[in-house]
Structure 1
Amino acid sequence: MPVRCLSRHRYQFVVYPGIGTKFASLDDAYNFYNLYSWEIGFGVRYAKCRLNVHRQKCMQEIACGCAGKPVKENTKTIRCGCPALIRLLRSEDRGWYICEHRESHNHPLSNTCGEKMHWQSHRHIDQYTKELVKQLQENNVSLGKVYSIIGSFFGSSDQIPFTKRSLRTLCGKISQEQSDNDAMKTMDVDDDSMMKTLMWTSGRSMDQYICFGDILTFDTTYRTNLYDMPFGLFVGVNNHFQSIIMGGMLMRDEKVESFKWVFAEFMRLIGGKDRHPKTILTDQVRSMELAIAEILPNTKHRWCKWHVLKKAKESLGALYGKRSEFRSDFHRVVDMMCSEEEFETSWAEMVAKHGLQKQPYLTQIYEGRAKWAKPYFRDVFCCPMHLFVKQYEKLQFDRASEESYQEKRTSLSGVVLRANLPIERHASKVYTRAMFDQFGLALFDSGNYMLEELEQRRLYVVRHMHHEVRDRWCKSVYSVQVDLRNERLNCECCFSQHAGMPCCHQLKVPAYLVMKRWTRDARDMLPPHLKMYQRDQARPRAVTYRHSNLSLTALEIVKMADSNVDAYELAMSEMVKVRAKLEP
């Protein structure tokens, strides 16, 4: 009723809460006063109320957002005791009417639209937009993309009737609601209903697995102090070279059947039942190896090099001291990416030099070298996960906050170029900072090689310029082939397949390989129906009122049609008819 009478009122404002104005409900009165506050330049909130003898509300004040006094001095609050308000009383017909209106304010009023939108009462987001935001959040769409998608419904981003800050607040609330219920867990019990194994993961881990589930490490060397049960963690690595938790488990024993249940349940919980990791790194447990071979047949299973080095320290004692010559020789052989022939030659020279041909531990790990030495699985993607397992032992800081810092560092901080080459400047724009540091080392190392073209744009050879100062077993010549069909380079060192980044030999060729999982857009993977909003896709631009109006109407129809089966069938049949008429 108040809105219908706007054309007949005598006030200078489009909306004015005059004394005696009637409303059907408190919500109508709040919305009406909020419209008035928008026009004037302030925000509103519910204030004092009074109940009658029947414990029903009979008086309600709606005050300026600056009403009330601050709780303490020297604070950032906007409350300054503003007297502006309207007082509503209950009418006989169960409605409400204004009995008092105070117009004066004791603070500056907002003049621009941008200022007004930051008042709490003017950050309203309608229900349909909230549901759209919730769906986008569930599909792991970033805040910036959510704002852009909503902007396409309203014509453009500058026409969205709320701020990005309010959208961020809404996304935070949605994330909190989801986090309260997204923890997924399952357990295996024995015949006496006693717990044998407990497994858990979270919604965030499921989202992380989509982007970074290509390589995992699973470690059960930790044990809880209270129950002395093996505690296992599935850990991955993100595009900032940081360890990320995919899931955890507690188990009573380390038998084959227990590990089979662990891996099968992890794949089910994480949503990767048909999307197994490419590589999984574990410690040397035979029962785990058998379980992986049966449950994850398409996954390459290797031993984590960190566990090999850890046991070397335990088994070799003083021989493996910090300043020992053997330690430096051992690490050079273990860490260098070389061929199988180079590895075996360098290993033989090392054990002969130090007289360790019959050392039991070295003999044992050499026999199992195909499981942990890089030359024997050069073509298997396997970034240096041993670094992250070692980091994970410390658990000294919150991984989520550190990841946020790396995101900020990647997006805002500058980079130091080593050679100021075009290829280096391009890499600084696409790689994360941590990955760019690794790229810089490879680019610097590429300066040691000379390039020779054997077949035009197809086959190249790179030669090390200082091969005489290298170890005799180190290879100095590498061939690089250009795969024109798949648009990639193949080097015989296989470092790019192993680590996911171009090797120093490929960087000599006038093209190079960028793996998306190490780039800033590693998480830019949207469902098929949202692919158009990816950064590598052309984004549709909606600048017409027709687009915005059609989008909002369609959302309203979806909301109503989803209420029951009859409404759904009616809406679908009518939309099929409309689509048939609109098709050219």
Structure 2
Amino acid sequence: MLRLHRISDDGWVVVEHISDHNHPLSETYGEKKHWPSHHHLDKYTKDLIRMLRQNNIGITKLYTILGNFFGSMENVPATKRCLKTLCQNINREQAEDDIKKTLDLIRELRKSDPGFMLSVDTDEDGRIKTLMWTNSRSRMQYEHFGDVVSFDTTFKTNMYDMPFGLFVGVNNHFQTVLFGGVLMTDEKIDSFRWVFREFASLMGGKEPSTVLTDQCRAMEVAIAEEWKDSIHCWCKWHVLKRVKECLGTKYTSIKEFRDKFHMILNEMLTIEEFELNWASLVKEFGLQNNSFLAQIYETRHKWVKSYFKGVFCARMTSTQQSESANHMLKNILSPACTLRQFLDQYMKMQYIRDEDENYE
């Protein structure tokens, strides 16, 4: 220990000196990184970490990237524990004044794209209940390709745990195109009514001819009330997922049943063919009293191909397009991202989709 005192002529004087260490020396090379004096990250490394975290790079992968950056893992001037603490501090920084930062980003987006539109639904206390946005590119694409729209709200990756809904379609190359995004605080009928009404308003009043969703009852009621002339179909992928869950071994173990079931769904061209083969399948495998099959049979006009004759679906018989867009967004968004980050990353994803179209 060394103790210094200030003296009158702005100098220093040593008043106490203890030459012994107050802790033993590190016995192993690996210990040195754990002393505060031996881990320091410069401004540029911190900026790199911040950028990687914004794109949903996990702590372990981040640590290995820094290992490449510094030449080897031994040369990284921080431990994984230090990185974790730094990332927590970065998250806190980004969460501060999130609404103000989001509004600043919206101003920037409007400046670069005058066609960027935002719509907000608030509750009785003036708090944001639902937030929807779209831009000029999406609105132009909707004008051309908005006959069939897929809507899905299975995505929940943001610090407010708000369900994220995505309106998507396909273009003339059968690529996914994004029409708009919406963040919701709940999934009630009134919220969905506002979403569908506002989406049509942002798109110039044009309602889609066909809408594909999952089996959400609130969504079904809202579409029936707001888009009376649109044909509402269920995503076949979601129905088949439930078939697998509810029929269990009957579906997974009996190949003959599975093959016949899929043949009835995909290859029966007329309603009469479907009805005849469905009755035969149920009788053959003794499933007349199966409540789940009875339930999906009652709603067959929503998801069976035979009932879609004359209905334009643009090859979108499932919400696969929005599922793939959700998957892409999940890859670049961290689970606790802020509203500003969410909007920023959504715009990046839209740019990537546009690039794919430009290539075609």
Amino acid at match of 2:312: F
1:381 maps to 2:335: no
CA contact (8 A) 2:110 2:116 kept: no
1 CA distance for matches of 2:147 and 2:262? 27
2 CA distance for matches of 1:229 and 1:177? 24
2 CA distance for matches of 1:318 and 1:242? 36
Aligned length: 229
In the superposition, relative to structure 1, how do residues 237 and 179 fare at CA in structure 2: closer, same or farther (>3 Å)? farther
1:198 maps to 2:152: no
Q: Residue 264 of structure 1 is aligned with which of 163, 182, 197? A: 197
1 CA distance for matches of 2:357 and 2:195? 28
Q: Residue 284 of structure 2 is aligned with which of 353, 377, 397? A: 353
Question: How high is the sequence identity, in percent, across the aligned residues?
Answer: 52
CA contact (8 A) 2:165 2:182 kept: yes
CA contact (8 A) 1:306 1:389 kept: no
2:225 maps to what in 1? 294
CA contact (8 A) 1:179 1:203 kept: no
Q: Residue 208 of structure 1 is aligned with which of 141, 154, 179? A: 141
In the superposition, relative to structure 1, how do residues 380 and 310 fare at CA in structure 2: closer, same or farther (>3 Å)? same
SS at match of 1:268: helix
SS at match of 2:248: helix
Q: Residue 402 of structure 1 is aligned with which of 343, 356, 360? A: 356
SS at match of 1:188: strand
In the superposition, relative to structure 1, how do residues 333 and 392 fare at CA in structure 2: closer, same or farther (>3 Å)? farther
SS at match of 1:186: strand
1 CA distance for matches of 2:323 and 2:250? 22
CA contact (8 A) 1:218 1:280 kept: yes
1:311 maps to what in 2? 242
1 CA distance for matches of 2:305 and 2:144? 24
In the superposition, relative to structure 1, how do residues 390 and 291 fare at CA in structure 2: closer, same or farther (>3 Å)? closer
Kindly state the Cα deviation for residue 225 of structure 1 after the two structures are TM-superposed: 5.1
1 CA distance for matches of 2:254 and 2:178? 34
Q: Residue 344 of structure 1 is aligned with which of 275, 292, 306? A: 275
2 CA distance for matches of 1:393 and 1:286? 21
Kindly state the Cα deviation for residue 257 of structure 1 after the two structures are TM-superposed: 1.3
SS at match of 2:312: coil
2 CA distance for matches of 1:192 and 1:337? 53
2 CA distance for matches of 1:335 and 1:193? 49
Q: What are the Cα deviations for residues 468-501 of structure 1, in whole angstroms up to 9, with x where unaligned?
A: xxxxxxxxxxxxxxxxxxxxxxxxxxxxxxxxxx
Amino acid at match of 2:180: G
Higher relative contact order (CA 8 A, sep 6+): 2
1 CA distance for matches of 2:283 and 2:245? 22
1:510 maps to what in 2? none
Q: What are the Cα deviations for residues 305-345 of structure 1, in whole angstroms up to 9, with x where unaligned?
A: 12212222332334433983322222211122511111111
1:335 maps to 2:289: no
In the superposition, relative to structure 1, how do residues 399 and 230 fare at CA in structure 2: closer, same or farther (>3 Å)? same
- TM-score (structure 1 length as normaliser): 0.37
SS at match of 2:279: helix
1:227 maps to what in 2? 160
SS at match of 2:269: coil
SS at match of 1:370: helix
| RMSD (Å) for aligned C-alpha atoms | 2.3
1:249 maps to 2:203: no
Kindly state the Cα deviation for residue 287 of structure 1 after the two structures are TM-superposed: 2.1
2 CA distance for matches of 1:390 and 1:249? 15
Q: What are the Cα deviations for residues 63-111 of structure 1, in whole angstroms up to 9, with x where unaligned?
A: xxxxxxxxxxxxxxxxxxxxxxxxxxxxxxxxxxxxxxxxxxxxxxxxx
CA contact (8 A) 2:150 2:321 kept: no
- What are the within-5 Å matches in structure 2 for residues 32-47 of structure 1? none
In the superposition, relative to structure 1, how do residues 316 and 380 fare at CA in structure 2: closer, same or farther (>3 Å)? same
CA contact (8 A) 1:303 1:372 kept: yes
2:116 maps to what in 1? 183
- Which is greater in Rg? 1
In the superposition, relative to structure 1, how do residues 226 and 336 fare at CA in structure 2: closer, same or farther (>3 Å)? farther
CA contact (8 A) 1:306 1:390 kept: no
1 CA distance for matches of 2:264 and 2:222? 31
The answer to which structure has the higher helix fraction is 2
Q: What are the Cα deviations for residues 125-167 of structure 1, in whole angstroms up to 9, with x where unaligned?
A: xxxxxxxxxxxxxxxxxxxxxxxxxxxxxxxxxxxxxxxxxxx
In the superposition, relative to structure 1, how do residues 318 and 245 fare at CA in structure 2: closer, same or farther (>3 Å)? farther
2:296 maps to what in 1? 365
In the superposition, relative to structure 1, how do residues 263 and 177 fare at CA in structure 2: closer, same or farther (>3 Å)? closer
CA contact (8 A) 1:188 1:198 kept: yes
